[in-house]
C-alpha cells in the first residue's frame, strides 16, 4: 500500500472532536515498513497529539529509528503543513533530504525535504561530545 493511501485511511480514524480537523500521517522506515498515525485530541486541549507524532511513536515502538519518507494529509484548502513540534520530531529520525509529501483530500500535493521544513534543526548530532 502506498504511503498516501495509508495516511488517507488512518486519517479516517483520527480522534478530533474539538478541532474537527482530522490528520493522517504515514512514514516508511529504513527497513521498508510503513507506520501510521492520526491526531488524538483530548478534553484538556494541550494533551492532544499530532498524527506525525503517532506514526513516529509506532516506528520507535517497533524498534526502528530511521525515517526515509513521510506523507501527511488533511482536508484543508492547501497542503497540510507539519506543525513546528512535528518538524522537530521528524528531524530527530530523518536525514535532511528525506521527502515529506503534504497533501489535501482534494488532491493537492506539495513536497519538501525535512531540512527545508526545519533548517538548522537541533538534532542528535548536537548532543555528541
Ligand atoms: N495536527 C496534526 O496532527 N499534525 C500537524 O502537523 C498539524 C496539526 C492536528 C493537531 C490538532 O489535533 C489538529 O490538527 C488541529 O490543530
Distance 14 CA to ligand 1 centre (A): 10
Q: Is 52 annotated as catalytic?
A: yes
Strands 99-104 and 67-74: parallel
Kindly state the helix (H) or strand (E) to which residue 111 belongs, with its residue range: strand 109-113
Atom of ligand 1 nearest to the CA of 48: 12
Dihedral sign for Cα atoms in the order 99, 32, 127, 54: positive
User: If we measure between CA atoms, which residue out of 34, 85, 94, 39 comes closest to residue 62?
Assistant: 34
pTM: 0.97
Domain 3-127 in CATH 3.40.140.10? The answer is yes
Q: How far is the CA of 8 from the centre of ligand 1 (A)?
A: 15
Please tell me if the CB atom of residue 8 comes closer than 6 angstroms to any atom of ligand 1: no
Q: Is the pLDDT of residue 129 over 90?
A: no
Q: What pLDDT, in 10s, does the model give residues 33-92? A: 999 999 999 999 999 999 999 999 999 999 999 999 999 999 999 999 999 999 999 999
Amino acid at each position: 500500500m502506498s504511503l498516501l493511501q495509508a495516511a488517507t485511511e488512518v486519517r479516517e480514524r483520527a480522534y478530533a472532536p474539538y478541532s474537527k480537523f482530522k490528520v493522517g500521517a504515514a512514514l516508511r522506515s529504513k527497513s521498508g515498513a510503513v507506520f501510521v498515525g492520526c491526531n488524538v485530541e483530548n478534553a484538556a486541549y494541550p494533551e492532544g497529539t499530532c498524527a506525525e507524532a503517532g506514526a513516529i511513536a509506532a516506528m520507535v515502538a517497533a524498534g526502528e529509528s530511521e525515517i526515509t519518507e513521510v506523507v501527511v494529509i488533511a482536508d484543508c484548502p492547501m497542503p497540510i503543513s507539519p506543525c513546528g513540534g512535528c518538524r522537530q520530531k521528524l528531524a530527530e529520525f530523518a536525514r535532511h533530504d528525506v521527502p515529506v509529501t503534504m497533501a489535501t483530500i482534494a488532491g493537492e500535493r506539495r513536497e519538501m525535504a525535512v531540512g527545508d521544513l526545519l533548517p538548522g534543526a537541533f538534532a542528535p548530532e548536537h548532543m555528541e561530545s
